[in-house]
Amino acid sequence: MNVLSQFTDDGHWPGLKRWLDLPGVYPAGRLDRDSEGLLLLTNDGALQARITDPAHKWPKTYLVQVEGTPTDEQLQKLEQGVTLKDGPTLPAQITRIDPPDLWLRDPPVRVRKTVPDAWLRIILREGRNRQVRRMTAHVDLPTLRLVRIAIGPVGLDDLAPGEWRDIDPKIATV
């Protein structure tokens, strides 16, 4: 969190190069600096394109803490797709979940005793800029915490923040 999913700093926020010295490797998909979780890095341009190109529709799975108590109507709107300023979103898979067992967030999400929150599992097949946050805000459920746990068949599994592992490049056949 508070790290750009690019290797260069932008003058305000640090890039990945401060932690990883991997010339020729690039992110396949991005997370905004307020989000956490899985980021795939590759030196294979064809694989990067397959992962990020909306035509391939790789599912991206997120755990999302929202402010408020979601109604069935709000969840149905998210599932059907909502119309944002840049057009309608594709339908999403939405599931209410119990609070997940995650690492501590720095800084922590502000707890407001008078405002409930809830957790959702959201699966998208597109990846617009800040899409999950914009979708939940559109139905009056602002996102408090956003953690990507999977891209296609690759899951975060038991990786802790800052850890990494090699994956089989055959995933590109998915």
Q: Which residues are catalytic?
A: 32
Q: In whole angstroms, what separates CA 60 from the centre of its chain? A: 7
Q: Is 135 helix (H, G, I), strand (E, B) or coil?
A: helix
Instruction: Read off φ and ψ for residue 131, nearest 5 degrees.
Output: -60, -50
Residue 91, C-beta contacts closer than 8 angstroms, at least 6 positions apart: 79, 80, 81
DSSP count for the chain of H helices, then E strands:
3, 10
CA distance 121 to 131: 14
Q: State the residue for tokens 């409930």.
A: 116
> 44 is written with which tokens?
């294979």
